Amino acid sequence: MIFTNLARIVAWLALVLGASQILIGFGIANEVFGPYKEALARYAPGAANAGKVIDRGFYAVLFAVALGTLAEISFNLRRGRHE
Looking at residue 80, what is its pLDDT? 76
pTM given for the model: 0.87
3-state SS record for 23-67 = HHHHHHHCCCCCCHHHHHHHHCCCCCCHHHHHHHHHHHHHHHHHH
For the chain, how far is it from start to end, CA to CA, in angstroms? 15
| Cβ neighbours of 40 (radius 10 Å) | 23
For residue 4, give the 3-state DSSP assignment.
helix
Report pLDDT digits (tens) over 13-62.
999 999 999 999 999 999 999 999 999 999 999 999 999 999 999 999 99
Separation between Cα atoms, residue 63 and residue 67, nearest integer Å: 6
Report pLDDT digits (tens) over 71-83.
999 999 987 765 5
pLDDT band at 1, cuts 50/70/90?
confident
